[in-house]
Copies of this chain bind each other. A is one copy, B any other.
Amino acid sequence: MKKFLNSAESFVADSLAGLAAAHPALRVQAEGPDGPFVARRAATQPGKVALVSGGGYGHEPLHGGFVGVGMLDAACPGEVFTSPVPGQILAAAQAVDGGAGVVFVVKNYTGDVLNFQMAAELAAEDTGVAVETVLVDDDVAVRDSTWTAGRRGTGATVFVEKIAGALAERGESLADVADMGRRVNANSRSFAVALTACTTPANGKPGFLLPEDEMEVGVGIHGEPGRSREKLASAREVAALALDAILAEPLFGAQGERQDGVEVIAMVSGLGATPLSELYILFHEASRLLAERDISIVRSLVGNYVTSLDMAGASFTLCRADDELLELWDAPVNTPALRWGL
């Protein structure tokens, strides 16, 4: 295993210590009965709805890198690829509640869902903190059905956290902020492709072995194999494959037709080990393909936003936008990984 670390056991704690050292505007509550969690150093403005997210470690900058004005109030990192525990989530919620309640932004994985659900129950039973939960489930690589765990939450999390975070900053109500989060999720779809597996510090070896000329198509962000293994394809083909899967969703209009007037926020996120130069190539191809369908990219992110440790690969996320969403998108934000207007 080739990683910069001191030990698998201290991976998360050491990394959080680095986050704290690098970002004085954040405070990191250390591991323990009340942690770990990352929060803004400044207390929540009374009356402002707080946003708390979290999930397994290994997706940086998600979620700790999105804590700050205009986005999250706190993030709860679990162990690598392991959801945080209820006590930790509850502690974060209590720490950042400004009296107006807390929105949990939860990626749809059984572990995250159950642990946040237990935290919400504890909050209801033992504290006065009102909680609403927004489930993020944007990954179209997962064939959804009522009988399964449903789609995974991936790239749309960034959009949900940014846009609902901006609404919270305006002083809107718990219900409204949560509804906005749900709306952004409903408007968003993702698809990812991997060129290599990732290696968890605890496991020490790649989750799977991929020959030089193959790629995993429809992967998630936890190192699991994807829907299928295919021959390595050009950037153009990879972008087409991902966008075809995403645009098959009725959300983006009838398939095969030109979509005059459809506007999207587009993200191409690296999965951890793919350099920016390649992400721009994918974004170029994606923007060509969308232009062909008359879908306009009105805002975009290209970079490492939702990653999977050291996996080489990229995810594509589109969020169908409207004026309200765009206004909230453009609102000032000041976090380690997303910053503008401040």
Contact of A125 with B by CB under 8 A: no
A window 275-324: CB within 8 A of B? 275-285, 287, 297, 300-302, 304, 307, 309-310, 312, 314
A window 15-52: CB within 8 A of B? 15-19, 21-22
A277, A300, A304, A309 pick with most chain B CB within 10 angstroms: A277
Q: Are A276 and B307 in contact (CB under 8 A)?
A: yes
Q: Are A5 and B234 in contact (CB under 8 A)?
A: yes
With a cutoff of 8 Å between Cβ atoms, the chain B residues found around residue A276 in the complex are: 60-61, 65, 304, 307
Chain B residue at minimal CB-CB distance from A205: B212
With a cutoff of 8 Å between Cβ atoms, the chain B residues found around residue A272 in the complex are: 273, 275
Knowing A18-B281, A18-B284, A18-B302, the reply to whether A238 touches B275 (Cβ < 8 A) is: no
Contact of A4 with B by CB under 8 A: yes
Knowing A4-B278, A273-B275, the reply to whether A14 touches B310 (Cβ < 8 A) is: no
Contact of A175 with B by CB under 8 A: no
Contact of A11 with B by CB under 8 A: yes
Q: Are A314 and B281 in contact (CB under 8 A)?
A: no
Q: Are A278 and B5 in contact (CB under 8 A)?
A: yes
Q: Are A19 and B273 in contact (CB under 8 A)?
A: no
User: Copy number of this protein in the oligomer?
Assistant: 2
Q: Are B281 and A4 in contact (CB under 8 A)?
A: yes
With a cutoff of 8 Å between Cβ atoms, the chain B residues found around residue A281 in the complex are: 4-6, 11, 14-15, 18
In the assembled complex, the Cα of A282 lies from the Cα of B11 at a distance in Å of 11
Q: Are A300 and B22 in contact (CB under 8 A)?
A: yes
With a cutoff of 8 Å between Cβ atoms, the chain B residues found around residue A57 in the complex are: 277
A236, A238, A280 pick with most chain B CB within 10 angstroms: A280
Q: Are B18 and A196 in contact (CB under 8 A)?
A: no
A–B complex contacts, Cβ < 8 Å, 27 sampled: A2-B312, A3-B195, A3-B278, A5-B234, A5-B235, A6-B236, A6-B281, A14-B280, A14-B285, A15-B277, A15-B278, A15-B280, A18-B280, A18-B281, A18-B282, A18-B283, A18-B284, A19-B280, A21-B284, A21-B287, A21-B300, A22-B283, A272-B275, A274-B310, A275-B307, A275-B309, A339-B340
Taking A4-B195, A14-B285, A60-B275 as known contacts, 10 extra A-B pairs with beta carbons closer than 8 A to each other, sorted by chain A number, are A1-B212, A5-B235, A6-B281, A15-B284, A18-B302, A19-B280, A21-B283, A22-B283, A22-B301, A339-B339
